[in-house]
Amino acid sequence: MIGTLLMGSRTTPPPSWLLTFVDLVLLLLTFFTMLFAVSRPDPARYPAVAESYRESFAADAIPVPRGSSALSFARVPNRAGDNLAYLEGVLR
């Protein structure tokens, strides 16, 4: 569909650099949109965002008392495919 939009009614394809250029323009548009979105931060919302991150990333972690230096990483069960050591043999 994008090729049809870029080519229009032409019979020759557009230059190959055009797709890269369009990607660059879209990335820049996204970057500046994000800059605009965070240009006016609302400090009153920071605690809610921090709490949301804490709940999301520490869902399975064991709670640690405040001031403790112990780390509380949750155990993640090993699944089939987690061990990629077999790739060494395949790539040789």
Q: Which of 20, 26, 19 is nearest to 2 (CA)?
A: 19
pLDDT (average), residues 73-83? 72
Please give the Cα distance from 92 to 53 (Å, whole number).
42
pLDDT (average), residues 31-43? 88
pTM beyond 0.85: the answer is no
Per-residue pLDDT at 39: 85
Residues 33/39, Cβ–Cβ less than 8 Å? no
The mean pLDDT value of the chain amounts to 78
Of 3-7, 21-25, 37-41, 81-85, least confident by mean pLDDT is 3-7
Q: Which two tokens stand for residue 74?
A: 């949750």
Q: Bigger pLDDT: 43 or 58?
A: 43
Q: Bigger pLDDT: 49 or 79?
A: 49
SS3 content of the chain, % helix, strand, coil (to 5): 50, 0, 50
- Helical H segments across 1-92, by residue range: 2-7, 17-37, 46-57, 86-91
pLDDT (average), residues 4-11? 63
Q: Bigger pLDDT: 29 or 3?
A: 29
Look-up: residue for tokens 């939009």?
5
